């Protein structure tokens, strides 16, 4: 095959033998075109990828082989290539095969008009049908998962909201029965079991309700974590006092966040540190460390600790590591994770069983304004 140049002075084109061999043996389709798209040369691989012999394509316009929906994007890329030599420009386009089918190709244009040995625009076609299909399939799976998660959240919201009132009625009338004089002590004990069970169920549903709620009436704004922690300590004063807990706090930074949501995070994490205590006096230390545009907040305790194999599990909804002897519904850490990730951060735990835990999360420093949607509701 003679490699032609638009200049006409060098009918042999590509006079460097090694470069000629590279082009001829390349598995991609390599085509030389004029500024209007007329095909001057096409490599031997054209037959394998598109089904055309190189001779069938020379003299045709490359745009005739491109799907009608992809022609304008390709013309734009060609225009960019002509306006900004010698860099390459890329897009994905459907290319016609001789058998009548369309194949997706990664198309790269390089303006080598100024190169005497080429003097053309080089178009490289690389067939990517399988890769694109896998990518589309992965995106479809991701979309399906997102829809499924949304449906589950809607279902959780509806169930949590609709079941709370009937449960409150059960609790109220059972308590009225307990107050009556007709029940013996054994029956009253059973009735109390009902009331306690209903209270646990309501707490569980309220947690699900908070977890399922989406939407937030505002965006994160500059704020100081000192004010959040002051309110948290006030809310937890009774638990701190009765557990004899000692809480120390380093200087806290200004961040980009939401006070109400971060209050829920700190309250959940500090409550857990008190709840999952060891036999030693409870000691909790809260610190902050700058990491580029974020702060790492660390809540460290000397509690019972968590084995490494459970570090991911504890952030899942309704996952608990302890029995009914320890209060909780397995929702608090899932809510923390949802809030922190909505703020653009990450949350994790560093712990070993019997050696205490450090719950850590990242949050943007004050200068980093991040738009996001946060879950609302009570934790």
pLDDT of residue 348: 93
Question: What pTM, to 2 d.p., does this model score?
Answer: 0.46
283-325 pLDDT, tens digit per residue, is 999 999 999 999 999 999 998 888 888 777 787 755 545 444 4
pLDDT of residue 158: 63
Which residue's entry shows tokens 């902050």? 288
Locate 232 and state its tokens.
């948290």
CB of 273 within 8 A of CB of 311? Answer: no
Among 202, 266, 210, 272, smallest CA distance to 234 is for 266
Question: How many Å apart are CA 293 and CA 348, to the nearest integer?
Answer: 18
pLDDT of residue 11: 37
pLDDT of residue 324: 46
Question: How many Å apart are CA 190 and CA 182, to the nearest integer?
Answer: 14
Q: Following CA atoms 315, 205, 231, 358 in sequence, which dihedral angle do they give, to the nearest 10 degrees?
A: -20
pLDDT of residue 183: 76
156 CB contacts (<8 Å, ≥6 apart)? 208, 209, 211, 212
pLDDT of residue 24: 62
pLDDT of residue 379: 40
pLDDT of residue 146: 66
**Peptide bond before residue 228 is cis, with ω within 30 degrees of 0:** no
pLDDT of residue 249: 94
30-69 pLDDT, tens digit per residue, is 889 998 989 998 888 888 888 899 899 999 998 989 899 9
Low-confidence ranges of the chain (pLDDT < 70): 1-27, 144-162, 180-181, 203-219, 317-330, 368-379
pLDDT of residue 345: 92
pLDDT of residue 364: 93
């Amino acid at each position: 095959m003679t490699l032609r140049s638009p200049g006409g002075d060098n009918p042999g084109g590509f006079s460097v033998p090694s470069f000629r061999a590279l082009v001829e043996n390349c598995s991609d389709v390599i085509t030389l075109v004029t500024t209007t798209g007329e095909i001057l040369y096409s490599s031997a691989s054209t037959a394998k990828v598109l089904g055309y012999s190189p001779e069938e394509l020379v003299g045709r316009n490359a745009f005739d082989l491109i799907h009608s929906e992809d022609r304008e994007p390709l013309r734009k890329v060609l225009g960019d290539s002509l306006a900004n030599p010698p860099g390459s420009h890329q897009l994905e386009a459907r290319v016609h095969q001789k058998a009548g089918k369309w194949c997706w190709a990664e198309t790269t244009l390089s303006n080598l008009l100024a190169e005497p040995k080429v003097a053309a625009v080089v178009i490289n076609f690389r067939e990517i049908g399988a890769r694109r299909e896998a990518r589309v399939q992965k995106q479809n799976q991701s979309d399906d998962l997102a829809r499924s998660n949304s449906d589950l959240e809607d279902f959780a919201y509806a169930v949590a909201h609709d079941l709370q009132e009937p449960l409150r009625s059960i609790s109220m009338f059972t308590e009225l029965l307990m107050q009556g004089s007709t029940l013996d002590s054994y029956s009253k004990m059973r009735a109390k079991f009902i009331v306690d069970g209903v209270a646990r169920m309501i707490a569980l549903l309220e947690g699900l309700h908070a977890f399922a709620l989406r939407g937030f009436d505002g965006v994160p704004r500059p704020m100081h974590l000192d004010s959040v922690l002051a309110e948290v300590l006030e809310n937890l004063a009774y638990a701190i006092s009765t557990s004899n807990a000692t809480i120390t706090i380093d200087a806290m930074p200004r961040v980009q966040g939401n006070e109400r949501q971060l209050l829920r995070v700190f309250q959940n994490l500090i409550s857990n540190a008190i709840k999952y205590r060891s036999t030693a006096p409870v000691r909790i230390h809260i610190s902050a460390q700058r990491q580029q545009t974020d702060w790492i907040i660390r809540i460290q305790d000397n509690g019972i600790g968590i084995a490494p194999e459970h570090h991911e599990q504890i952030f899942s909804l309704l996952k608990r590591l302890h029995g009914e002897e320890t209060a909780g519904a397995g929702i608090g850490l899932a809510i923390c994770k949802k809030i922190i990730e909505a703020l653009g951060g990450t949350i994790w735990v560093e712990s070993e069983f019997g050696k205490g835990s450090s719950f850590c999360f990242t949050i943007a420093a004050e200068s980093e304004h991040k738009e996001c949607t946060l879950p609302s509701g009570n934790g």
